[in-house]
Amino acid sequence: MGEEGRPRKLTIIAWSGDMDKVYPVLILATVAAASGWEVVVFVTFWGLFAFKRNDRWITGKDWMTKMLSLMFRGGSEHLGLTRLNMAGMGPWMMKKVFAKNQIPPLRELIETAVEMGVKIMPCQMTMDALGIKREDLIDGLGESAGAAAALEEAATSDVTLFI
């Protein structure tokens, strides 16, 4: 328990859409939720792409944002690595290693986080700038919000992480 008998609270600002950064976000979020913590994940910039639907590739509102979505597909099944991406071979290898070690795929971790009550807040500014619509994102996410809401969540948290 945190101060005044309330549950402890974790806020994560998730800005990266790389597999090796999305995994820690979701593992920390689900472990904290399993431990009784209130958990908020504010997803912004490239981090938002990890929460795109796997069946949506081209998103955007104009030719530039559509090109960005072509270059960075997003969706939990299509993320690359920060290092050693090797034209997709790195993520394939990591998925095999993780499966062998019984680490669930990102899709399952996202579903688990949502089921456990982790509040995943997509960044409205990023959605607007990149032309990502609500229907382009997976089900179960919380309401979209701006930086002020993310700061308010962080201000009332026991722990705040930027990943």
Residue 73 pLDDT: 82
Please tell me which residue, 25 or 57, carries the higher pLDDT value.
Answer: 25
Residue 1 pLDDT: 67
Residue 3 pLDDT: 64
Residue 49 CA, chain-centre distance (Å), reads 8
Average pLDDT over residues 125-130: 96
Q: Choose the weakest-confidence range: 82-86, 126-130, 158-162.
A: 82-86
Question: How many percent of the chain have pLDDT more than 70?
Answer: 98
- DSSP for the chain? --GGGPPPEEEEEE----HHHHHHHHHHHHHHHHTT-EEEEEE-GGGGGGGB-TT-----SSHHHHHHHHHS--STTS---SS--GGGHHHHHHHHHHHHTTPPPHHHHHHHHHHTT-EEEEBHHHHHHHT--GGGBPTT----B-HHHHHHHHHT-SEEEE-
Q: Choose the weakest-confidence range: 11-15, 90-94, 129-133.
A: 90-94
- The values of phi and psi at residue 88, to 5°, are 100, -15
- Which band of pLDDT confidence, cut at 50, 70 and 90, is reported for residue 118? very high
pLDDT exceeds cutoff 90 at 127: yes
Residue 2 pLDDT: 63
- The values of phi and psi at residue 6, to 5°, are -85, 155
Please tell me which residue, 135 or 5, carries the higher pLDDT value.
Answer: 135
Q: What residue segments make up the domains of the chain, in order of their start?
A: 3-162
So what's the architecture of 3-162 in CATH? 3-Layer(aba) Sandwich (3.40)
pLDDT exceeds cutoff 80 at 4: no
In sequence order, the 6+-apart residues with CB closer than 8 A to the CB of 87 are none
| Dihedral (Cα; 11, 120, 132, 47), 10-degree rounding | 50
